[in-house]
Amino acid sequence: MEQNNIWVKRNGAVLTISIRVTPRARRSRIEGIWNGTHVRIALQAPPVDGQANVAVTAFLAALTGVRKGDVDLLSGATGRCKIIRIIYPSDTAAEAAAVLLTQMANEA
């Protein structure tokens, strides 16, 4: 299935997601799309000593059903805009996760 957005890209069993993080939120959740280019994610963690980075990788791992070690922060360690890579066991699992993330972001 072809994705019609620029914030999630799938290459086989790998998803690359552009996100915009809002730290110190009331609860961690997907809040929608930011500027048409990033998934907006609210996190309870503060942006101190990498806590928000750890929280966003754990949040996405739990949301998409992969191990925390399969979620990597590729860029944006010190900023709000980040690029995350998630590795899945199969192309089918990656496709299902891309559809799930797209639906959640569009419905938020």
24 inside domain:
yes
pLDDT of residue 1: 40
| CATH number of the domain residue 52 falls in | 3.30.1200.10
pTM for the structure as a whole: 0.90
50 located within any domain: yes
Distances in whole angstroms, Cα of residue 26 to Cα of each of 22, 42, 78, 79: 10, 8, 21, 20
Per-residue confidence of the chain (108 residues) as pLDDT tens digits?
445 678 999 999 999 999 999 999 999 999 999 998 999 999 999 999 999 999 999 999 999 999 999 999 999 999 999 999 999 999 999 999 999 888 889 888
Whole domain around residue 38: which residue ranges? 19-107
Domain total of the chain: 1
The answer to whether residue 43 is domain-embedded is yes
- Cβ atoms 92, 12 nearer than 8 A: no
Residue pair 89/14 in contact (Cβ under 8 Å)? The answer is no
